[in-house]
Amino acid sequence: MSLKTLLMIKPDGVRRGLIGEVLRRVEQKGFRIAGMKMLQFDEARAGEFYQEHIGKPFYQTLVDFITSGPAVALAVEGDDEERLIPEVRKMMGATRYWEATPGTIRGDFAHHLTMNVVHGSDSPASAERELGIVFEPNEIL
């Protein structure tokens, strides 16, 4: 089975009606969507998902935000496994929204440090871990 990564439209993106916009960009670029689901994070799943950020000053803000409404998770696959994660991260744009290049999702839509429309795994290990938190194995096709 080839490498897949998690790209997730966070609750602000869902509230703002950006599901289709993100999907369009992913499909337009030529990635394959191998899994897709809407889900509501609870505190426990948010803690597991954001475990790398436990102890940081913005951690609780992040948990409150991710549990604030439904998110839409995509399992994304590309032809080039080596470049899949950096490519998806590039398409998302920089975490610091004021540095995100126009043409990226955050560059075009994000204007808040926490509420920044999308989440994307940052390594193969985090992709595997995060996909496992969001999807059942039989939901990735």
Sites of contact with ligand DAT (CB under 6 A): 58, 62, 95, 113-114, 116, 119, 122
| Start-to-end C-alpha separation, the chain | 10
Instruction: Name which of 4 and 89 has its Cβ closer to ligand DAT.
Output: 89
Q: How far is the CB of 141 from ligand DAT (least distance, A)?
A: 26
Least spacing, CB of residue 138 vs Mg ion, in Å: 26
Q: Which one of Mg ion, ligand DAT, none interacts with residue 58, CB within 5 to 8 A by kind?
A: ligand DAT
Identity of the residue, 126 or 139, whose beta carbon is nearer to ligand DAT in the bound complex: 126
**C-alpha distance from residue 33 to each of 9, 21, 23, 77, 121 (Å):** 14, 14, 9, 6, 15
- Binding segment for Mg ion (CB under 5 A), chosen from 17-25, 72-80, 82-90, 122-130, is 122-130
- Sheet order of strands, 32-39 included: 32-39, 71-77, 4-9, 118-120
Query: Angle 19-29/81-92 helices, nearest 10 degrees?
Result: 140
User: Would you give the binding string for Mg ion spanning residues 66-105, x where CB under 5 A is met?
Assistant: ----------------------------------------
Number of other CB atoms surrounding residue 93 within 10 Å:
24
d(CA 75, CA 19): 14
Q: Catalytic residue numbers?
A: 119
Binding site for Mg ion (CB under 5 A): 122
